[in-house]
Chain A
Amino acid sequence: MDRREFAIKVGSPAAFVVAMFALWELVCRALAVPITVLPAPSDVFAALWQYRAPIAANAVVTLWTTLAGFLIATVFGLALGIAVGWHRALYAGVYPVLVGFNSIPKVAVVPVLILWFGIGEVPAVLTAFLISFFPIVVNVATGLATTEPELEDVLRALGASKLDVMRKVGIPRSLPYFFGSLKVAITLAFVGAVVSETVGANRGIGKLMLDAQAAFQVPIVFAGLLVLAVLGIALYAVTAGIEARFTRWAFRGQAAH
């Protein structure tokens, strides 16, 4: 049974990816698509290998700006989420502002950030942060705000302080929401970092792709895309793993119903 599970969970996506690349290669060769329009996977992998050093260096930059922005977003989002979920007045006041802020396309903010902090990694980190903290705040606040009032009565009748209620019920309850939002946030942070790099930066995969595009080095552009895809999947997988590790009870609960 474990083997079957494994075949389905790992084998079938792997087969699918290989098939996709094979089809892509086939189409490019059969139709003789020019390399400047759509390079074949073989060209892309060749470019990836040839420029592995600069690609790796730039990938590291994108990775750390993403993670830095994500980390700030996690700390800030958790703190603001708890504050907002704690106090109804704060919730009422802050929520519309957050929604308004969140509806601004973050690309539009990047020029402002560059104006303030100059070209470099800081705008990328800040964009990653700005784009990714919102789901964390909303999820944490929702988790706290939906504590059953009867359960709160049970505890308050025992003389529990607001802090006790938070510690014993609110925070454990909102953990699945929090970890769930991390999956969304890491993806957004990654998008934010790359967008910022393509608007104005010295380094990073986004910048590398921009330069390659200007020089008509199309295989490098695609190599960049490939690296982004792999990084994105890896980041998502790590946060999903953390989620499953820390909120097992929520998953088990669902499985039983």
Chain B
Amino acid sequence: MAANASSASPTLVRLEGVSMVYGRGAGAVRAIEDVSLTIARGEFIAVVGPSGCGKSSLMKLISGLHPPAAGRLEVEGEPVRGPIKSVGMAFQNSNLLPWRTALENVLLPLEIVEPHRSRMRRERARYRERAQRLLESVGLAGFTDKYPWELSGGMQQRTSICRALVHEPEILMLDEPFGALDAFTREELWCALRDLQAERGVTVMLVTHDLREAVFLADTVYVMSSRPGRIVMRCEVGLPRPRDLEVTYTPQFQEIVHELRRRIGLRQH
């Protein structure tokens, strides 16, 4: 899958001079101002920046949940006019449905997205099998029939990421997915995400506050300024893949993190 994905058009998402506004008239909030960037197929990008700078808004924009106020926004060469279906999303809060087991939660997108939706009834067993394997691949083999409250925070987050991936979206959008986890669980999940992405070649957009997380996982890191959000820096992380957690202790890694920290500016401590 990775191979044929990258052989198609290399650019998946293109933003040119895009701004975005919430509300109208006097009460309008400019969330994003003149952002231009491209995301290649199979690329892993991370977006960092101070709180309230418009990172989540950028995600909403690209997924077509909120229209741009100005500029051009294209996905797969087509202007975005509404929700693009080839996206999977996960947030800081896992948002699992408490009345469904982990497996049933993962099945949810398949009950909505065509063509799975119409096949769901006939091929339920096959889809369950697919969800089962996906959960196993993130280390949840024995927990597929557990309800969300029977899972730890890290397990819930893994389930949530599986739910975002099960319909094989072009783009995986993660908004601070590990923000609520402790440091050890977080690093464990970095590796889980790294492996999932390497295996499937999916394009990922990761919003995070954690610069180490961004540098460890991403091919390209974008730094946004505070409101209205602009991109003030684009940083290509040259670290070779596959990356091991050890890489985070190398001077090269630290150097990139420090550089990013400087660009985010004032808020360092």
Contact = CB atoms under 8 A, between A and B. Distances in A.
A150 B83 contact: no
B149 A158 contact: no
Interface stretch (B11-19, B94-102, B246-254): B94-102
Contact of B98 (A154, A156, A158, A250): A250
Interface in B73-108: 83-85, 87-91, 93, 95, 97-99, 108
A104 B84 CA distance: 49
Contacts of A160: 112
A168 B150 contact: no
A257 interface: yes
Given A253-B149, A257-B149, A157 B99 contact: no
B113 interface: yes
Contacts of A154: 89-91, 95, 163-164
B64 interface: yes
A247 to B, nearest CB: 9
Nearest to B160: A154
Contact of B109 (A151, A158, A172, A252): A158
B158 interface: no
A2 interface: no
A153 B65 contact: yes
Contacts of B90: 154
Contact of B83 (A156, A172, A249): A156
Contact of A159 (B91, B93, B95, B113): B113
Interface of chain A, main secondary structure: helix
A249 to B, nearest CB: 4
A172 B90 CA distance: 21
A37 interface: no
A174 to B, nearest CB: 12
A253 B98 contact: yes
Q: How large is the interface on A (under 10, 10 to 19, 20 to 34, 35 or more residues)?
A: 20 to 34
Interface string B52-73: 0000000010011100000000
B167 interface: yes
Nearest to A165: B112
Nearest to B150: A256
B147 interface: yes
B83 A158 contact: yes
Contacts of B98: 249-250, 253
B195 interface: no
Interface in A48-90: none
A173 B99 CA distance: 8
B93 A158 contact: no
B168 interface: no
Nearest to A164: B112
Given A157-B87, A159-B113, A169 B93 contact: no
A88 to B, nearest CB: 15
Contact of B91 (A150, A164, A257): A150
B97 A172 contact: yes
Interface in B106-160: 108-109, 111-114, 147-150
B60 A153 contact: yes
B97 A158 contact: no
Contacts of B150: 256
Interface string A159-193: 11000100011001100000000000000000000
B86 to A, nearest CB: 9
A44 B60 CA distance: 70
A151 B94 CA distance: 9
A209 B192 CA distance: 72
A155 interface: yes
A173 B98 CA distance: 9
A148 B65 contact: no
Contacts of B164: 154
Given A153-B65, A154-B89, 9 more contacts: A150-B95, A154-B91, A156-B83, A157-B83, A157-B84, A158-B87, A249-B98, A250-B99, A253-B98
26 contacts: A148-B93, A153-B63, A154-B89, A154-B90, A154-B91, A154-B164, A155-B112, A157-B64, A157-B65, A157-B84, A157-B87, A157-B89, A158-B87, A159-B83, A159-B85, A159-B113, A160-B112, A168-B97, A172-B97, A249-B99, A250-B99, A253-B98, A253-B147, A253-B148, A256-B149, A256-B150
Interface of B: 60, 63-65, 83-85, 87-91, 93, 95, 97-99, 108-109, 111-114, 147-150, 163-164, 167, 173
Interface of A: 148, 150-151, 153-160, 164, 168-169, 172-173, 249-250, 252-253, 256-257
4 tightest A-B contacts by CB? Answer: A249-B99, A256-B149, A151-B95, A159-B85
